[in-house]
Amino acid sequence: MTDQTQKRIVFVGRHTLTSTLPFSEVDEETEKLKGIDFPGFEAVRTFDCLKELQYPGELTFTYAQVLIVTPVEYGDFRHWERGYSDFRGYVFVAQRAVDWLLCFPVDQRQDGQYVPWKRRLPPDDDDVFFCLSGTIRSAARTGAPIRAVPHLDKLKFLSPRPGGELALVRASEWCWDEKRDTVSILLQDVIEDDTIFASEVRIF
């Protein structure tokens, strides 16, 4: 199994719930200049930067995909620039490098910032964590702790299952791992949970 520290996490905006990989057209001049000879896509490194992917005049994103990537070859994950933009957080990612993805609904605030589709649990509360729905079902069945993360940018530390959904959990108690990347939550410490059924995991 690949060391999770070697994995990368990126985000793209989508207009429908889809588990297909994104694809960005690259013109011949750019292809030659940057040596891109494989299918890939433009992305951003953090969810907070999702708005930077929206082209002028493009419809608002209604979904986002978080993609967990393990670069296979040199150049599979590289810095990227848009000529008209001052933002420098773009990356170009090879489709072959994607391990798994999660598509979930988003809203856009008045300031243009994207946020997860607002549900019963506010995702920015200190006692609310993100997890995958399968871990909640597993906890109910086996008594194993629920593994969760405090931010979407930490989702690479979770273990996906095909057909899973994004879920939020509010807890009264939790235990951080050594690097504070994930938390473990006992089922009896769950105050409430909320599964976002309009979301989908795909493993490649």
- Separation of CA 201 from chain center: 10
User: Same domain for 146 and 109?
Assistant: no
Does position 101 have pLDDT exceeding 80, yes or no? yes
Q: How far apart, in whole angstroms, are the C-alpha atoms of residue 181 and residue 153?
A: 10
The predicted model scores a pTM of 0.88
Q: Are residues 15 and 108 in the same domain?
A: yes
pLDDT band of residue 32 (cuts 50, 70, 90) is: low
Q: Give the model confidence (pLDDT) of 47-64 as tens digits.
A: 999 999 998 889 999 999
Domain that holds residue 68: 4-116
Residue 123 lies in a domain: no
Phi/psi region, residue 75 (left: phi>0; alpha: psi -120 to 50; beta: rest), is: left
The pLDDT of 195-200, averaged and rounded, is 91
Question: Do 20 and 101 belong together in one domain?
Answer: yes
Q: Quick one: 146 and 87 in the same domain?
A: no
Poorest-pLDDT segment among 29-38, 102-111, 187-196: 29-38
Of the pLDDT bands very low, low, confident and very high (cuts 50, 70, 90), residue 28 is low
> Residue 2: pLDDT band by 50, 70, 90 thresholds?
low
Q: How far is CA 72 from CA 5, 63, 99, 109, 168, in A?
A: 14, 27, 11, 36, 32
pLDDT classification of 90: cutoffs 50, 70, 90: confident
Query: Which residue, of 96, 116, 136, is where some domain finishes?
Result: 116
Same domain flag for 143 and 105? no
Beta-carbon contacts of residue 59 (< 8 Å; ≥ 6 apart)? 15
Q: Dihedral of CA 9/107/194/121: which sign?
A: positive
Residue 1 — pLDDT band, cuts 50, 70, 90? very low
9 and 103 together in one domain:
yes
- Looking at every residue in the chain, the average pLDDT score rounds to 87
> In this structure, are residues 138 and 193 in contact, taking their beta carbons and an 8 Å threshold?
no
Residue 114: the pLDDT is: 92
Strands 90-94 and 128-132: unpaired
Among the candidates 95, 116, 137, a domain finishes at 116
Whether 18 and 107 map to the same domain: the answer is yes
What's the pLDDT score for residue 174? Answer: 97
Q: What confidence category does residue 85 fall into, taking pLDDT thresholds of 50, 70 and 90?
A: low
Lowest mean pLDDT among 18-22, 116-120, 183-187: 116-120
Total domains, the chain: 2
